[in-house]
Amino acid sequence: MPNEKISGFLGLCRKAGKLVMGFDICVEALGKGNAELILLARDCSERTVRGIKRAAEEKGREVRTLPLNMDEISFAVAKRAGVLAVCDSGFAKKFKELLDGMHTA
């Protein structure tokens, strides 16, 4: 299952210390230049989506929506969050590959 791959990779990213969670912390990571990629739960509110996209656009960072809702993300990383920032270029690249692969499969 593709969602299981993404869930597992989220957990790995968290254990490696390269994932920050929550709107404010992600905006802070963008401001410091630490965030390589922003990931959103598929059930994020429109207000949250607009706000994080604006912040990411200012820093030239990509925002992608996961095929997971907040509860599924919570199960993968042991914290309920709708906005996640990947703070490592290698992990960011792998997330993009996984997400792109889902659309072509």
How do residues 30-40 score in pLDDT, each as one tens digit? 999 999 999 99
What pTM did the predictor assign?
0.94
User: pLDDT tens for residues 54-87?
Assistant: 999 999 999 999 999 999 999 999 999 999 999 9
101 band by pLDDT with thresholds 50, 70 and 90: confident
What pLDDT was estimated at residue 14? Answer: 97
pLDDT at 102: 77
Question: For 62-100, b where at least 16 C-beta lie within 10 A, e where not — what string?
Answer: ebeebebebebbbebbeeebbbbbbbbeebbebbeebbe
> What average pLDDT does range 14-32 have in this prediction?
97
